[in-house]
Structure formats: C-alpha cells, structure tokens
Amino acid sequence: MDAPSLFAEEDLPRRPLHDVEAVRARLTEMLGKMRAAALWPWKEATVRQYREGLWPSLLAKLPDADEAARVAAAIAAECARLDAA
C-alpha cells in the first residue's frame, strides 16, 4: 500500500480566506470617513497605501463584480473630491 504524499494534489473544498461581511464593513467605514471629510482624513502616505494596496485588495475580495465596481466608483469619486480640496 502506497503511503500518501505530503505534496499530493487533492480536491479540497474552496473556502474564502476572508469574511466578506468584514470586508464590506471596512469599505463602508472608510467611505463614510471620506464622505464626512472636507480634506483627506488620513496622512498622504496612508492614502497612497490605501490606493495602491488596501482598496484593490478589499475590492477583489467582494464576490459580486457589480458590487465591487459600484464601491470602486464611489471610492474614486471621493478620491477625486478630496484630491481637489
């Protein structure tokens, strides 16, 4: 009888590695702060990090592409408003 290999490929059930509701809550919280602010509510370095990493990462975790597009558009609109301020 062959011993199972530690590196054998097998069909494992796919589970999200994140909590979608927590992702939505985080995006909603951030949008709320942006909408309530006259100027950026975070330091410039933080905004850059959010734009380059956090927002794309969170948006990619939303299972519905239409929802992700709507939230991305809302973030882009607030970014444009705050950049102009």
Distance CA 82, CA 51 (A): 13
- Tokens coding 67: 């929802």
Q: Is pLDDT of 77 > 60?
A: yes
Q: What is the mean pLDDT of residues 24-28?
A: 96
Q: Is pLDDT of 15 > 60?
A: no
Q: Is pLDDT of 13 > 60?
A: no
pLDDT tens track for 27-72:
999 999 999 999 999 999 999 999 999 999 999 999 999 999 999 9
Q: Give me the pLDDT at residue 18, please.
A: 78
